[in-house]
Amino acid sequence: MMSFVSYLVNGISLGSIYALIALGYTMVYGIAKMLNFAHGDIIMVGGFTVFTAMSTAWCPVWLSVVIGIVVCTVLGVVIEKVAYKPLRNAPPLAVLITAIGVSYLLQNLALLIFGSAARNFTSVAAGAPPFLTVFDDGRAPQFFTAVPADAAKPILTISMETFLSITVSVVIMIALTLFINKTKAGKAMLAVSEDKGAAQLMGINVNGTISLTFAIGSALAAVASVLMCSSYPQISPYTGSMPGIKAFVAAVFGGIGSIPGAMIGGILLGVIEQLSKAYISSQLSDAIVFLVLIIVLVVRPTGILGKKINEKV
């Protein structure tokens, strides 16, 4: 039973990271109606930025994370201005090809700067005690306490990285929902996602709103990169490729364009992946994830929380 709980918690933790990345995909698609396939490589840039900053003796962990968020935010805005804004009225295929080109550009720049070898990433929670430790000898569960040397092997341990991944994702999800529904900028995003032309006639700066969306999505990618590299402590120029694809699957799974759907889709995807590795096959876990996506889309093409949009002809 405790093994299942451990796998479930790890799945929720991994899914929370996928959800943060998926939020970037779903926000950009919902507002700009485009798929930013360079989003996964922004994760990689954020990870390398934090890694480089933490390697500097004078730079504390919190400042390294802030620097990573700032760099990714600026990078997201620059990519939107340089690569995507000129193609605002271009066919979707042209935008898609451009996004793939930006993705390969970021990967190859990272290869030139850092090389192809994976680097060891120091967790932002390094040295911290586990969030929760459960023993089977009758003692009470231990929170934020190191395991005593004379204690038996714990039957359940939830690491600080796992706790941070889940907590940070939930807080960001709540904050993002409040931002979109309660602030003027958030309501402008909703208006642009509904009808760009009408929003512009009402005095909304459409280009500025789209840039803000890219900035928020890229900042979330930076946070996700820190959480992911802390839980799986390695980084390379290809670090963001597979998580980026899985996060896109999560966004489609939950309903592309839906922020709560991205969160639900990410968590479900992480749980399915971890349980598949534990009870079926670690080698087939990715295939099982994509198989579940296919089944969901066959049954419900718009995803779990997606809405069917009727287009006038």
- Residue 312's pLDDT is 46
> Residue 250 domain-assigned?
no
> Are 290 and 305 a contacting pair, CB within 8 Å?
no
> Are 158 and 130 a contacting pair, CB within 8 Å?
yes
Please give the residue range of the domain that contains residue 172.
21-236
Rg (CA), the chain: 20
CB atoms near residue 97 (< 10 Å):
14
Quote the number of domains for the chain.
1
The phi, psi pair for 305, rounded to 5°, reads -110, 10
> pLDDT tens, 174-185?
899 899 888 998
Rounded mean pLDDT, 206-228: 91
- Residue 71's pLDDT is 95
> pLDDT tens, 117-144?
888 888 888 878 888 888 776 677 778 8
Q: Tell the burial category of 268 from Cβ atoms under 10 Å away from its Cβ (0-12, 13-18, 19+).
A: buried
> Residue 313 domain-assigned?
no
Return d(Cα 136, Cα 153) in angstroms, integer.
9
156 beta partners: 134
> Residue 77 domain-assigned?
yes
Side chain identity at residue 14, one-letter code:
L
> pLDDT tens, 232-286?
888 999 988 888 888 888 888 888 778 888 888 899 999 999 999 888 888 888 8
Return d(Cα 87, Cα 194) in angstroms, integer.
20
> Residue 9 domain-assigned?
no
> Residue 131 domain-assigned?
yes
> Residue 276 domain-assigned?
no
